[in-house]
Amino acid sequence: MKPTLIKRAFGLTRQLLLTMGAVASLAATAYAAAPGITSTSGTVATFNLTAQPAFLNQPDGSSVYSWGYGCATGSTPTFVPAGMKDTSCSTMQVPGPTLVVTEGQTVKITLTNNLPTAAGNTSILFPGFQVATTGGVTGLLTQEAAPAGSVTYSFVASTPGTHSYYSGTQGDLQVEMGLYGALIVLPAHVPAACTTGLHSANVQVEQAHGESDFRLSQAAYDHDKTCYDREYLFQFSEMDANIHTQALAQVTARANCVAGAAGCSLEVPTEPYHPSYFMINGRSMPDDMDANYEVEYPHQPYNGNPHMHPGEQVLLRIIGQGRWQHPFHEHANHVRILARDGNLILSATNPDDLAGAPLFTTTTTPGQTMDGIFYFTGRGLNWDMYAHHSGSDADPLAVTNCVPDANGYYTVNSNPPAAVSAINYYEWCQDHNKPLEVNPVGDVAGGGPATLPNPLIFTNGAWYSGSPYLGPDATTRAVGPNTNLLPSNTQANPATERGWAFMWHSHNEREITTNNVFPGGMMMMMLVDSREFVIDESN
């Protein structure tokens, strides 16, 4: 990882840890989306994968010997969502390529075993689907690919939602080594509710501000309560570096052995289990905040760096891919669970309603998937969260209107309706014109909940940190007669970004370390950006 990125990310995290999910600004410029590959010929989606070794980069400078699924040499998958930059699919990656198909399609996956001969057979399980196999050799759970051999799996993608796939051969070792990935099945039909009303307006708002639509679909399921505006995929896993080191040593010692011959196998103990790396989409923090398909991570193409605007319904696709449960906490709001393992959680009395619980912590059980909706509006904070107050000609960034709709937000349902180009679209109107500062020197009226340093007192210095967000023109608002009070969030890179940063992290303290060094591991930031900032999910 580049030194500047390490300094940037760790410095930011230190500041954010002081406030544990309060206000800050993020210097990273990469966003997550849910990147993957698709391949469609008529009603059949065909993928050609390999299983082979490579080394994974970690933020402590280590390169960990691992195994992973990847695209077979010569295959030409289509990358989704459209418009992603610098896309690639190497012959090995962790997690494996995210396979994106549509409900009702026949999915055909050919796996070639390019693992070291001593690693033996390998395979893929697709839980939740009726799988037919062609070729390969008989294994305990499914047909397997022998060293240098292949096997083909076929099934109908009968259930929409987020699913996992992983090795069905010696799982305690092969899954640990990195043989796992995600399968996303898009619904065959988009509910009409997803193309009208606020859901349609949210897309128009994004387009009005120069943003592209990077959703894989408009709904997670064939149900009008599963419409969404953005989506992110998070796969949680861990690694015991000692297991990987022993696997490499034994593979090296048996480099010239013959498959099936005596001694041409691995005897790697997987207990006791002491993981030292905790990963989101194959990367540990701060690497997960770098771009998708970043060249520093040739075998870890997917990041974990979500962004959103106020009021957007954000679909979280979550998979537990390791051996441990990971109690992952999303600050700022609960996550409303839609489904588990591709099964919608419906009301027992009314199938038109969903009955999934709002979770404070989305605990990822090994092998289990879940889909949930996260949103944040800033409702009830008791100050104008983006400083979109009623202004004057002297303050061109100010907003003069915030007319509440029936739910209290400024939307197309307000009277008069909000323009889709309004920078305060979907903000909570009751807090508008409520200031942040108690006793300001600048042009913000008094009475707010926060007391900031007086810029006239030289001993305070020109800078302060750990302060709440002050809006896109924060420096202007802090002007006093003699000096400027420069809030820490004016240091953001890119300079146009101003957002509320909420730490999303494992609630197991050990899991927010990298090889026992804090901060690291399973940690990322959700930035809720003001409309002035364009969220570009192309990388």
Highest mean pLDDT among 4-13, 34-43, 463-472: 34-43
* Predicted local distance difference test score (pLDDT) of residue 491: 47
More confident residue, 455 or 223: 223
Is 70 exceeded by the pLDDT of residue 482? no
Give the closest residue to 344 by CA, choosing from 229, 222, 234: 222
Question: DSSP state, 507?
Answer: S
Confidence of residue 13 (pLDDT cuts 50, 70, 90): very low
Ranked by mean pLDDT, which of 193-207, 212-226, 385-399, 432-446 comes out on top?
Answer: 212-226
| 88 or 433, higher pLDDT | 88
Higher pLDDT, 60 or 388: 60
Helices (H) and strands (E) in the chain, counts: 5, 27
Bridge pairing between strands 132-135 and 78-80:
unpaired
Q: Flag the least confident range among 143-147, 179-183, 405-409, 448-452.
A: 448-452
Dump pLDDT digits (tens) for 14-72. 333 333 333 333 333 456 689 999 987 778 999 999 999 999 999 999 999 999 999 99
Across the chain, mean pLDDT equals: 85
Structure tokens at 481: 């007669």
Looking only at the bridges linking them, the beta strands covering 44-57 and 63-71 are antiparallel
What backbone phi and psi angles, to 5 degrees, belong to 205? -65, -45
pTM higher than 0.85? yes
Furthest-apart CA atoms within the chain: distance in Å: 85
Stretch 149-153: mean pLDDT: 98
| Strand residues in 114-229 grouped as ranges (E) | 132-135, 137-138, 143-144, 150-156, 161-166, 180-186
Residue-wise pLDDT for 299-353, tens only, equals 999 999 999 999 999 999 999 999 999 999 999 999 999 999 999 999 989 888 9
How is the chain split into domains, by residue range?
1-243+276-386+498-539
Residue with tokens 């092969």: 174
The yes-or-no verdict on residue 236 having pLDDT over 60 is: yes
**pLDDT interval class at 394 (50, 70, 90):** low
How buried is residue 263: exposed, middle or buried, by Cβ count under 10 Å (0-12/13-18/19+)? exposed
How far is the C-alpha of 162 from the C-alpha of 183, rounded, in Å?
A: 6
Which CA distances in Å does 483 have to 127, 220, 281? Answer: 63, 52, 46
CATH number of 1-243+276-386+498-539: 2.60.40.420
Question: For residues 125 and 142, is the Cβ–Cβ distance under 8 A?
Answer: yes
How confident is residue 114, by pLDDT bands cut at 50, 70 and 90? very high
Single out the residue of 536, 539, 538 nearest to residue 206, CA to CA.
Answer: 536
pLDDT surpassing 90 at residue 165:
yes
For residues 465 and 485, give the distance between their C-alpha atoms in angstroms, rounded to a whole number.
11
pLDDT at residue 381 in the model: 82
- The b/e string for 470-481 (b: 16+ C-beta within 10 A; e otherwise) is bbbbbbbbbeee
Cβ count near 184 (within 10 Å):
26
